[in-house]
């Protein structure tokens, strides 16, 4: 049983002003969160080894961010926009996990108690900086060129201390520290050409470079040599991401538009750990030194307008991805192909305005997606296994699902709108292969119905009232993850 007691207060201020023919924007955001949550678990209920576990966590978090933007037409055919953001977050946390014969029992050493902890205290600090610059140039009436650059830096550090407990052993203190610093720089170049009648051609490229490190020291808890061992991880990481795209839009009829496109993406991540780091060699997370992901994507879309009030959008997309992994040199294993992913995405959307006060929208999406790995028995095309596991122990990952949504909006009067939403999600990828392995495929059904009434009291004041009902059924947990829930929400918006 979860015990949740959370309070969040937020202030969001935004302002815009035109000075010297330049549009400036400023945003300030502050959030204070106080979270006092718990989880009570009954182990082996009704059996001689029955035991209760009470876990409590308290967090106090303060988040502040400031943003600034500016945009201006320098000349008739040159437009510049820029922005920046700085954010700071401080978090203090505490907690404990106590075994006993009741959820409110104080800690007492006893045989059979699992690994727990007391007096957990810690803090974390996060800083983030982002800036970007975009330029639109129109060297010819039919050509747009848009170069852009974005740079960001994220750094954080965490510290924690506590006392580990296990059975009737004497408690043992523990501590941990971790820190990370990452810099990302992304450049992009997009071109748009409209020189052919009824055609729009687009192409673009995006390049991202990232460099940083992750340091981890200590651990959660280890009592009498049992538990989570302390680690000393030093890991330097860098990545190079590239994406190239092509697209074309064709307007053969005034009511018909056809879009074709695709892209190639190549992401490569490298990790380096010195010899004195437990992340080097064969221990986690130093299993591999390089990992690459290549993705090929092709898509098409048709938009048809009928009778002036009926629109249909049909979409198909195909994706093929390959992941290559280079294990750490200490493993003695060469680079190998670790997985392939195939995805087919089919979508259909319909919007209709049968009446000036009524709009109807419906959408359907069907996804067929498979991830093949060398360990799966039915993926022999990837590579033969010298010592394959028992049949059915490892299955290919299936991620097939379909969704349906329906959204009507009715204007009740000049000041009141009624908006309804229905959403349905279904996946049936669960395969009970428990006699040979661990069943991991998702099998769930989710549906939700929401109704929102919006009332415009005056030109500056708007009131919203929303009700929602949610139903979720899960096969993977044997029905233990099923739930039904209701939501009631009211909001008030005032524009100065």
Q: What is the mean pLDDT of each run of 10 residues along the chain (496 residues)?
A: 93 94 96 96 88 94 98 91 98 94 86 88 97 94 95 96 90 92 97 95 97 87 77 87 97 95 95 69 65 95 91 97 84 79 96 94 95 65 44 77 96 94 92 74 91 94 96 86 93 87
Half-sphere exposure of 118 (CA within 13 A, CB side): 13
- Residue 285 has a pLDDT of 55
Helix (H/G/I), strand (E/B), else coil: 93: strand
**Would you give the DSSP letter of residue 196?**
S
pTM for the predicted model, two decimal places: 0.81
**The domain spanning residue 100 has which CATH number?**
2.40.170
Residue 79 in tokens: 């437009």
Rg (CA), the chain: 28
Alpha-carbon distance 373 to 371, whole Å?
7
Whether omega for the bond prior to residue 415 falls within 30 degrees of 0, making it cis, is: no
Q: In which domain, by residue range, is 388 found?
A: 2-494
**Which H or E run includes 469?**
strand 461-474
- Residue 331 has a pLDDT of 67
408-442 residues labelled b (16+ CB within 10 A) or e (exposed): ebeeeeeeebebebebbbebebbeebeeeeeeebb
* Residue reference for tokens 């610059």: 133
Residue 201 in tokens: 């051609």
- Residue 183 has a pLDDT of 97
* Chain centroid offset of residue 68 CA: 25
Residue 475 in tokens: 């096969």
* Chain centroid offset of residue 236 CA: 24
- Residue 386 has a pLDDT of 43
- Residue 429 has a pLDDT of 84
Domain count, the chain: 1
DSSP string, 110-129: -TT--SEEEEEEEEEEEEEE
- Residue 108 has a pLDDT of 87
- Residue 382 has a pLDDT of 38
Answer for the pair 27, 13: CB distance below 8 angstroms, yes or no: yes
- Residue 152 has a pLDDT of 98
Helix (H/G/I), strand (E/B), else coil: 331: helix
C-alpha distances out from residue 211 to 65, 131, 267, 270, 327, Å: 24, 17, 14, 10, 20
Helix (H/G/I), strand (E/B), else coil: 9: strand
């Amino acid at each position: 049983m979860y015990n949740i007691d959370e309070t969040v207060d937020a202030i969001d201020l935004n302002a815009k002003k035109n000075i010297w023919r330049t549009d400036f924007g400023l945003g300030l955001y502050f959030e204070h969160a106080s979270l006092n949550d718990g989880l009570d678990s009954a182990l082996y209920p009704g059996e001689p080894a029955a035991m209760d576990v009470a876990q409590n966590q308290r967090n106090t978090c303060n988040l502040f961010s400031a943003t600034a933007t500016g945009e201006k037409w320098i000349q008739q055919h040159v437009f510049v926009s820029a922005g920046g953001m700085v954010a700071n977050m401080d978090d203090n946390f505490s907690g404990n996990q106590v075994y006993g014969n009741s959820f409110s029992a104080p800690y007492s050493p006893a045989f059979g108690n699992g690994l727990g902890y007391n007096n957990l205290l810690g803090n974390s600090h996060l800083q983030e900086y982002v800036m970007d610059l975009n330029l639109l140039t129109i060297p010819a009436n039919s050509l747009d060129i848009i170069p852009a650059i974005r740079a960001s830096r994220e750094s954080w550090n965490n510290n924690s201390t506590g006392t580990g407990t296990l059975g009737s052993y004497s408690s043992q203190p523990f501590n941990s520290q971790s820190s990370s610093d990452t810099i990302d720089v992304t450049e992009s170049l997009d071109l748009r050409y409209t020189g052919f009648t009824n055609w729009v051609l687009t192409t673009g490229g995006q390049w991202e470079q990232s460099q940083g490190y992750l340091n981890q020291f200590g651990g959660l808890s280890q009592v009498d040599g049992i538990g989570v061992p302390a680690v000393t991880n030093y890991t330097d990481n860098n990545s190079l991401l590239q994406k190239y795209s092509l697209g074309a839009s064709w307007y053969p009829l005034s009511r018909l538009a056809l879009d074709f496109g695709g892209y190639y993406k190549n992401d490569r991540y490298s990790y380096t750990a010195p010899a004195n780091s437990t992340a080097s060699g064969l221990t986690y997370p130093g299993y591999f030194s390089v990992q690459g992901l290549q993705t090929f994507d092709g898509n098409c879309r048709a938009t048809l307008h009928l009778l002036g009030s009926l629109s249909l959008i049909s979409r198909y997309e195909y994706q093929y991805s390959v992941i290559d992994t280079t294990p750490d040199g200490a493993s003695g294993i060469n680079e190998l192909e670790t997985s392939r992913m195939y995805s087919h995405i089919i979508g259909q959307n319909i919007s209709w305005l049968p009446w000036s006060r009524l709009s109807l929208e419906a959408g359907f999406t069907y996804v067929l997606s498979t991830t093949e790995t060398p360990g799966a028995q039915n993926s022999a095309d990837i590579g033969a296994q010298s010592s394959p596991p028992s049949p059915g122990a490892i299955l290919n990952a299936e991620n097939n699902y379909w969704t349906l949504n329906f959204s009507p909006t009715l204007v009740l009067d000049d000041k009141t709108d009624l908006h309804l939403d229905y959403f349905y999600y279904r996946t049936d990828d669960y395969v009970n292969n428990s006699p040979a392995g661990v069943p991991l495929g998702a099998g769930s059904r989710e549906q939700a119905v929401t109704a929102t009434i919006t009332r415009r009291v005056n030109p500056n004041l708007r009131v919203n009232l929303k009700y929602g009902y949610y139903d979720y059924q899960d096969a993977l947990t044997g029905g233990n993850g099923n739930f039904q829930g209701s939501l009631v929400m009211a909001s008030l918006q005032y524009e100065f």
